[in-house]
């Protein structure tokens, strides 16, 4: 059985690329078709040296002035994806969060799609990315046209898998199809939950608006405004990650807030193995950071939306908190931290690690193999 893998543009090695690496490990002979790829970002990763086959869009993105500007290529992505030549393969598996599911296949080929999410900037978050009162009509028209193509592309898929129940619901609404839930692989084995905990909290992720690190920083500013816990000491927060908001957040941060910038896997693991808890205020499709924290023995203070509903158990492995509005406020995050300090969680570090192991890599591999085999035998 000849298998081909399809992925989006590769501009970094993030969550979706880690999933792709697991798929590539399962099917080591499968070529990987990508829209475009900055190959240097894959050095030292499991995808280095793999057979990567890019479209004409890859050459366009090497033109001076266009390099790295993948997002502006959205109008061209459907056409680029449809140029992948997948003749000669029995099974095509796409890793999709934009347009990878739109490849063209014959009726006798099995086309499967592991979906990180339908393109949120074109669907449920469109008004956050495009202000309807200010956006140019051309930009609105581009997204409208993309949504039409996106739905048609969804019809070509024989079987969907979603990385969470949240994404499975989006698939049903966007493509009108039922998706099997296969949680993404988290490398839980690289963490040591026996390390001594220290009295600081952590926030982990790219410093971009939807990750809401700014709300967490503001919450700790509020918590420390009165001199900390009853005037005895201040709460410490360590911010791990870089991004376009870093300078703004550094200026806004009060005492007790420390920024470490971009960190490699070893540095992230070290921080999660020592922190008192991870604060996670984002609404993620799945969210690997909370699972990594629990694997490291740290509880999670998480917004009760998105993937955290499936990974963080309130009162057991962490504290989940609600937001009255579209996103959490600093006051709501601060209240959740205070609740965690009053009540704690039931599981110790070993119990948190055990819970996280249920989202490990081997579980993902077995689930994907069963999904593919069932699809091949069922069609």
Confidence of residue 91 (pLDDT cuts 50, 70, 90): very high
Tell me: pLDDT of 373 over 90.
Answer: yes
Strongest mean pLDDT among 10-19, 130-139, 303-312? 303-312
Decide if pLDDT at 179 tops 90.
Answer: yes
Report how far apart the first and last C-alpha atoms of the chain are (Å, whole number): 14
pLDDT of residue 233: 72
Averaged pLDDT score across all residues of the chain: 93
Contact 361, 184 (CB under 8 A): no
The pLDDT of 318-343, averaged and rounded, is 96
Sign of torsion over alpha carbons 108, 179, 149, 83? negative
**Pairing state between β 179-181 and 201-204:** unpaired
58-79 confidence digits (pLDDT tens): 999 888 877 777 777 889 999 9
Per-residue CA distances from 231 to 198, 225, 227, 234, 254 (Å)? 19, 10, 5, 8, 16
pLDDT > 80? residue 132? no
Q: For residues 112 and 92, what is the distance between their CA atoms, to the nearest angstrom?
A: 6
| pLDDT on residue 135 | 59
Calculate the CA 80 to chain-centre distance: 24
Residue of 194, 202, 353 lying closest to 275 (CA atoms): 202
Angle value at C-alpha 181, between 149 and 32, nearest 5 degrees = 60
Q: Alpha-carbon distance 176 to 153, whole Å?
A: 12
Q: Determine whether 320 is exposed, middle or buried from the number of CB atoms within 10 Å of its CB (0-12, 13-18, 19+).
A: buried
Domains recognised in the chain with CATH numbers? 3-185+360-378 (3.40.50), 188-358 (3.40.50.2000)
- % the chain with pLDDT above 70: 97
Contact 51, 64 (CB under 8 A): no
DSSP letter (8 states) at residue 28: T
- Which band of pLDDT confidence, cut at 50, 70 and 90, is reported for residue 326? confident
Element (H, E) at 172: helix 165-175
The answer to which of 123-127, 156-160, 172-176 has the lowest mean pLDDT is: 123-127
Return d(Cα 345, Cα 379) in angstroms, integer.
46
The label of the residue with tokens 């790829």 reads 37
* Mean pLDDT calculated for residue range 102-107: 97
pLDDT digits (tens, 9 = 90+) for 269-281: 999 999 999 999 9
DSSP for 65-115 reads TTTT--GGGGGGHHHHHTT---TT-SEEEEEESSSGGG----TTSEEEEEE
């Amino acid at each position: 059985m000849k298998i081909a893998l399809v992925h989006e543009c590769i501009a970094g090695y993030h969550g979706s690329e880690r999933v792709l690496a697991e798929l590539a490990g399962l099917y080591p002979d499968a070529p990987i078709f990508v829209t475009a790829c900055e190959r240097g970002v894959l050095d030292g990763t499991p995808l280095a040296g793999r057979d990567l086959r890019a479209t004409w869009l890859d050459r366009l993105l090497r033109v001076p002035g266009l390099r790295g500007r993948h997002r502006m290529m959205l109008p061209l992505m459907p056409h680029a994806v449809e140029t992948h030549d997948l003749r000669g393969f029995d099974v095509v598996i796409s890793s999709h969060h934009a347009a990878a599911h739109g490849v063209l296949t014959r009726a006798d080929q099995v086309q499967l799609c592991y979906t990180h999410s339908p393109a949120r900037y074109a669907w449920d978050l469109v008004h956050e990315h495009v202000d309807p009162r200010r956006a140019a009509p051309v930009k609105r028209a581009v997204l409208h046209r993309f949504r039409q193509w996106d739905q048609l592309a969804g019809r070509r898929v024989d079987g969907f898998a979603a990385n969470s129940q949240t994404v499975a619901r989006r698939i049903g609404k966007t493509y009108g199809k039922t998706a099997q839930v296969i949680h993404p692989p988290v490398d839980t084995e690289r963490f040591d939950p026996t390390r001594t905990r220290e009295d600081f909290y952590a926030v982990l992720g790219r410093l971009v608006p939807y990750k809401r690190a700014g709300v967490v920083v503001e919450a700790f500013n509020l918590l420390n405004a009165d001199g900390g816990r009853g005037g005895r000491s201040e709460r410490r927060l360590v911010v791990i990650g870089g991004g376009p908001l870093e300078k703004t957040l550094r200026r806004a941060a009060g005492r007790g807030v420390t920024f470490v910038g971009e960190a490699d896997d070893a540095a992230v693991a070290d921080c999660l193995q020592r922190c008192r808890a991870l604060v996670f205020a984002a609404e993620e499709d799945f969210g690997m950071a909370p699972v990594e924290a629990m694997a490291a023995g740290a509880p999670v203070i998480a917004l009760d939306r998105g993937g955290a509903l499936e990974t963080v158990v309130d009162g057991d492995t962490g504290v989940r908190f609600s937001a009255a509005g579209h996103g959490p406020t600093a006051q709501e995050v601060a209240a959740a931290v205070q609740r965690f300090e009053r009540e704690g969680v039931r599981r110790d570090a070993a119990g948190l690690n055990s819970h996280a192991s249920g989202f490990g890599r081997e579980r993902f591999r077995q689930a994907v193999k069963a999904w593919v085999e069932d699809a091949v035998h069922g069609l």
